Amino acid sequence: MSVRIIQIHETDNVAIPVEAVSKGAILEGGLTALDDIPQGHKIALRPLAAGEPVIRYGAVIGYLKQAANAGAWINETMIEVPPPPDLDNMPWGTASAAALPVPPRTVFRGYDIPGASFAGIRNILAIMPAVQCVSGVVNAAVEKMKRELLPRFPQVDDIVPLNHAYGCGVAMNVKDSAIWIGSLKNLLRNPNFGGEIMVVGLGCEMLTPDMLLDPEENAPENVIILQECRGFTGMIDAILSMAEKKLHRLNARKRTELPLSKLCVGMQCGGSDAFSGITSNPVAGYASDLLAGAGAAVLFSETTEVRDGVHLIAARCAGEEAAKKLAAEMRWYDAYLRAGGADRTANPSPGNKKGGLATIIEKALGCIAKSGTAPVTEVLSPGERPSQRGLIFAGAPASDMVCGAQQLASGIVLQVFMTGRGTPYGLASAPVIKVSSRTILKELWPDLIDLNAGTIAEGSETIAEAGLRLFNMIIDAASGDYKPWAERYKLHNDLTIFNPAPIT
Amino acid sequence: MSVRIIQIHETDNVAIPVEAVSKGAILEGGLTALDDIPQGHKIALRPLAAGEPVIRYGAVIGYLKQAANAGAWINETMIEVPPPPDLDNMPWGTASAAALPVPPRTVFRGYDIPGASFAGIRNILAIMPAVQCVSGVVNAAVEKMKRELLPRFPQVDDIVPLNHAYGCGVAMNVKDSAIWIGSLKNLLRNPNFGGEIMVVGLGCEMLTPDMLLDPEENAPENVIILQECRGFTGMIDAILSMAEKKLHRLNARKRTELPLSKLCVGMQCGGSDAFSGITSNPVAGYASDLLAGAGAAVLFSETTEVRDGVHLIAARCAGEEAAKKLAAEMRWYDAYLRAGGADRTANPSPGNKKGGLATIIEKALGCIAKSGTAPVTEVLSPGERPSQRGLIFAGAPASDMVCGAQQLASGIVLQVFMTGRGTPYGLASAPVIKVSSRTILKELWPDLIDLNAGTIAEGSETIAEAGLRLFNMIIDAASGDYKPWAERYKLHNDLTIFNPAPIT
């Protein structure tokens, strides 16, 4: 029996085997493997000359340094990476807008917030330190509250400290500090926190509460200053007393049926492999199209991993404003990396390469697959909140933890996380649905992976079928009818708000 | 009765009142207050002309923008800050080395580590994630271990996850990445962890375990790779099983009497006010001199807050190598701030200013007071480990959390933290003794402040007397006979390792 190989686009000159093949093995279509080739790594479909482009997803992922015969293993050491796409005058709105698939469901059951654009899907009391100095006290208070208070408020899902590393000892008045300050300000308003505001300051920090809060919010019922409390016990008492009032209000909230336009979902991938771009990410893209078609807001990010396919996203921008901001976000990141002496070749990671991702271009094409086919209605700077619905590019680093935190700041209430190599990622403030790119990962981690998209590579399910499964899982999770594994285990990574400004 | 004022140096043309004074109040020496002057703020001792230097600690802290009469309040809006000291050709070894005070104790009871330069003072199992992705799992495992394992090992003080935000999604191959990678590598070897190494990796991270570990350490008994575990339960089982073996070994350790040359202590200040430089910091400086005289290593840091007094530290450098490295560390930080568009004028913080610290120079002079009078034997880059004993400048940002993490990486087993405005700061990996600069803070926070140096301002204790109290408290805490408040409450801030390299 020949080994199944996957050619994504008809113009591709490489394909990938769905399992590891030994030298001499016969592949689907009659090709003979000239090398031992790991699962998901590229194999030449025809003889390729030195300097010839390597084509996958119908796009050039690099140029061959040396000639290769049909059936040869094409790995990362053999490919030269060209410069990234030019950001000046990128054509926009040129991609033919295919009709989006019709969503079978258009409502979910969430926690509406009067006057707010989006609804919550969990009922969480969040407490934000104005400065990292106070996080030890906040953590101690949260621990005590989870033991002593939370059981009395069964409609409240959790109490979450929004810890961060800033507020003092960090440059405040430089241009880039607007990113972390704005992100914290928006994070505080994530719809999963039900509109309740609770800030704990020290009293001498640089990030004064008025920088986080609107004037009417900056009041004694929302802000505790530890330097005004009597000792540690006074601090704990003050926090518990304020929290209790807010828990009472949160506990009275009820889910109601809401249109999907009240839902803001984030898409992210991490620990990607060569299958991510053909299984889990296109499945997420299909679910994204269903959500966008139903009027929800769907955010995707990872600036450094979109950079090499940015022309494809620009082509899908619905307006000039979005296209211009997209270029501006990319330019900002190019300059940020350059200032630190870094460039895009630090990506892909060793694990990505092991998984078959040879170049940042190949990784970018796979990364972008999660955005489906919908037009891009808006582009956000890191931590900004959307004003539109549909598919939105929310600029943020690709670092999983930073991207997660930034999307939370932008207001996502649920994240879908696609993984190839596997990561036990989770967020405390929003449920995370994890999608595996390969069946083997779902088998190894049955209690961490929520949905397996490896079925696509095996040919047992179409992208639309798995995408619909994911769409339904998203609505179920949003409605409180499904708890992703990471949420069940209360498994979550530390929040890491993006700060490009210097530490002082 | 006239209000007590403190003039630090005979050449000072300003002094500070030990309590707030009202306009018209008569001050010690017969001066009349011309304004309402807050506690600790500067008062002109004689008529000062526009452009005249403002002198405190016998040093120029800035130049008057406008003339002021004797008795006038001299605040931050009235002072122009000159450029920082030139770093080229700073004279070194020129400060007359006063004889250090004679330490009354020369031993402590600590946990010796065969072959190691320094001993531990607590017996902690530390677990380091190789990448932030795994910290959710590590946290869950630590929680379970604290409940189920730790009670069986009464000689072990704690289990601490060494969480950090890096390992992936961060530039790895740029010059500045050596700081966070080297810091993590050294942090793993903090003497309070008893020489046990435990690293949890994911399997596809950029920071591979061989970058943290020596070849002989990089072995299955020290490293767990989550992508090789069967699901979440398999991960937890693997971590608990490895930890149990290490807990057995740690539990068998005993304190023995050791010379103070086996002790490495860190000094830091935070939330400073105008009293910090005349009460708590000089008290810490006296204790530092006692420790240095007894052969201990004493680290002080806060590059941005030493910068404006760097010539004073250079003058105390015992050798040219230290002086040159001191200038290099300062130059690096100047460039780092400049690259981010920041400069030193972002410091002092609003809280510092409220507390009477008008300029970064005044803050620096107070900050440096904690280094006492001992010669500087060595200068370290952020996170480097000392090779000498005595007083050592360990380059690190002034941000409390970052400085704490970097000093832990450099190997401190105990930190002394001086605070004026007050912070509930603590570290999980090392006890922190908190020293208040004012009595009022000790009265407000009796269960957070370990030692009150406000007595100096009141004239009820000398610096030597309070310094000796602090020295004894340090030895007692090191020997396990005293638990600082933050340790009793398990009050600690998140670790924040310094990373000047870009996030990707």
Q: Which residues of A touch B421 (CB under 8 A)?
A: 202-204, 227
Measure in Å the smallest separation between the Cα of B206 and chain A Cα atoms.
6
Question: Which sign, positive or negative, has the C-alpha torsion A249, A252, A258, A260?
Answer: positive
pLDDT band at A470 (very low <50, low <70, confident <90, very high): very high
A350 touches B: beta carbon within 8 Å? yes
Mean pLDDT over A80-92 rounds to: 94
Mean pLDDT over A25-49 rounds to: 95
Question: What is the pairing mode between strands B158-161 and B124-129?
Answer: parallel
Measure in Å the smallest separation between the Cα of B341 and chain A Cα atoms.
6
pLDDT above 90 for B202: yes
Residue B106: its pLDDT value, please? 97
Which tokens is A79 given? 């490919």
pLDDT band at B343 (very low <50, low <70, confident <90, very high): confident
Question: For residues A423 and A417, what is the distance between their CA atoms, to the nearest angstrom?
Answer: 9
pLDDT above 80 for A398: yes
Tell which of A401, A491, A498 to mutate to test the B interface (max B CBs under 10 Å).
A401
Record: contact A340-B402, CB cut-off 8 A: no
Topology of domain B124-251 in CATH is Rossmann fold (3.40.50)
> Cβ atoms within 10 A of the Cβ of A1, count?
5
Measure in Å the smallest separation between the Cα of B302 and chain A Cα atoms.
9
Per the CB < 8 A criterion, the answer to whether B408 and B417 are in contact is: no
Measure in Å the smallest separation between the Cα of A221 and chain B Cα atoms.
22
DSSP symbol at B490: T
Instruction: Please name the member of A132, A232, A342 whose beta carbon is closest to the beta carbon of B493.
Output: A132
Percent over 90 (pLDDT), chain A: 93
Mean pLDDT over A225-236 rounds to: 97
Question: For residues B429 and B406, what is the distance between their CA atoms, to the nearest angstrom?
Answer: 12
B157-178 tens-digit pLDDT: 999 999 999 999 999 889 899 9
Beta bridge partners of B402: none
Q: Which residues of B touch A133 (CB under 8 A)?
A: 270-271, 400-401, 423-425, 493
pLDDT above 80 for A453: yes
Specify the CATH class of A1-80 in words: mainly beta
DSSP string, A488-500: HTT--PPP-----
Residue B154: its pLDDT value, please? 98
Per the CB < 8 A criterion, the answer to whether B492 and B486 are in contact is: yes
A135-167 tens-digit pLDDT: 999 999 999 999 999 999 999 999 999 999 999
Mean pLDDT over B246-266 rounds to: 98
Record: contact B352-A204, CB cut-off 8 A: yes
Ranges of each domain in chain B? 1-82, 124-251, 258-488
Which residue of B lies nearest to A442 if distances are taken between CA atoms?
A: B231
Element (H, E) at A257: strand A256-259
Would you tell me which residues 186-225 of chain A have a C-beta closer than 8 angstroms to some C-beta of chain B?
202-206, 208
Tell which of B401, B417, B488, B489 to mutate to test the A interface (max A CBs under 10 Å).
B401
pLDDT above 80 for B497: yes
Mean pLDDT over B402-419 rounds to: 98
Mean pLDDT over A466-476 rounds to: 98
| pLDDT-wise least confident of A259-263, B351-355, B438-442 | B351-355
Record: contact B445-A231, CB cut-off 8 A: yes
Percent over 90 (pLDDT), chain B: 93
Measure in Å the smallest separation between the Cα of A183 and chain B Cα atoms.
16
B1-20 tens-digit pLDDT: 789 999 999 999 999 999 99
Residue B364: its pLDDT value, please? 94
| pLDDT-wise least confident of A116-130, A190-204, B216-230, B336-350 | B336-350
A147 touches B: beta carbon within 8 Å? no
Instruction: Please name the member of A174, A205, A398 whose beta carbon is closest to the beta carbon of B169.
Output: A398
Q: Which residue has the higher pLDDT, B273 or A104?
A: A104
Q: How far is CA A498 from CA A110, A177, B125, B397, in A?
A: 29, 10, 30, 18
- With a CB cutoff of 8 Å and minimum separation 6, the contacts of B399 are A168, A169, A170, A503, A504, B496
Would you tell me which residues 263-282 of chain A have a C-beta closer than 8 angstroms to some C-beta of chain B?
270-271
Mean pLDDT over B17-45 rounds to: 95
pLDDT band at A351 (very low <50, low <70, confident <90, very high): confident
Mean residue pLDDT of chain B comes to: 95
Residue A285: its pLDDT value, please? 97
B446 touches A: beta carbon within 8 Å? yes
pLDDT above 90 for B392: yes
Task: Write down the residue that tokens 């086919």 correspond to.
Answer: A373
Mean pLDDT over A113-131 rounds to: 97
DSSP string, A90-141: ---S-S--PPPPPPS--EEEEB--TT-SS-BSS-EEEEEESSGGGHHHHHHH
Closest to A221 measured CA to CA, from A189, A188, A243: A243
Q: Is A217 helix (H, G, I), strand (E, B) or coil?
A: coil
Question: For residues A444 and B442, what is the distance between their CA atoms, to the nearest angstrom?
Answer: 55
Measure in Å the smallest separation between the Cα of A104 and chain B Cα atoms.
33
Mean pLDDT over B216-237 rounds to: 97
B120 touches A: beta carbon within 8 Å? no
Residue A98: its pLDDT value, please? 74
For domain B1-82, say whether CATH 2.30.130.110 is its number: yes
B52-68 tens-digit pLDDT: 999 999 999 999 999 99
Measure in Å the smallest separation between the Cα of A304 and chain B Cα atoms.
6
Question: For residues B394 and B335, what is the distance between their CA atoms, to the nearest angstrom?
Answer: 18
Measure in Å the smallest separation between the Cα of B128 and chain A Cα atoms.
14
pLDDT above 70 for B97: no
Question: For residues B227 and B210, what is the distance between their CA atoms, to the nearest angstrom?
Answer: 17
Would you tell me which residues 297-326 of chain B have a C-beta closer than 8 angstroms to some C-beta of chain A?
304
Record: contact A421-B203, CB cut-off 8 A: yes
Question: What is the pairing mode between strands A158-161 and A297-300?
Answer: unpaired
B171 touches A: beta carbon within 8 Å? yes
- Based on C-alpha coordinates, what's the Rg of chain B? 24
Whether the upstream peptide bond of residue A348 has omega within 30° of 0, thus cis, is yes
Per the CB < 8 A criterion, the answer to whether B478 and B154 are in contact is: no
Burial B331-354 (b: 16+ CB within 10 A, else e): ebbbebbeebebbbebbbbebbbb
Q: Which residues of A touch B169 (CB under 8 A)?
A: 397-402
Question: For residues A380 and A399, what is the distance between their CA atoms, to the nearest angstrom?
Answer: 17
**What's the gap between Cα A93 and its chain centre?**
24
Q: Which residues of B touch A429 (CB under 8 A)?
A: none
Measure in Å the smallest separation between the Cα of A172 and chain B Cα atoms.
7
Would you tell me which residues 408-437 of chain B have a C-beta closer than 8 angstroms to some C-beta of chain A?
421-426
A489 touches B: beta carbon within 8 Å? yes
Residue B274: its pLDDT value, please? 85
| pLDDT-wise least confident of B1-10, B66-75, B132-141 | B1-10
Tell which of B162, B436, B494, B495 to mutate to test the A interface (max A CBs under 10 Å).
B494
pLDDT band at B265 (very low <50, low <70, confident <90, very high): very high
Q: Which residues of B touch A162 (CB under 8 A)?
A: none
pLDDT band at A97 (very low <50, low <70, confident <90, very high): low
Mean pLDDT over B88-95 rounds to: 93
| pLDDT-wise least confident of A316-325, B354-363, B383-392 | B354-363
Record: contact A165-B351, CB cut-off 8 A: no
A84 touches B: beta carbon within 8 Å? no
Strand order in the sheet with A79-80: A53-56, A59-64, A79-80
**What's the gap between Cα B181 and its chain centre?**
20
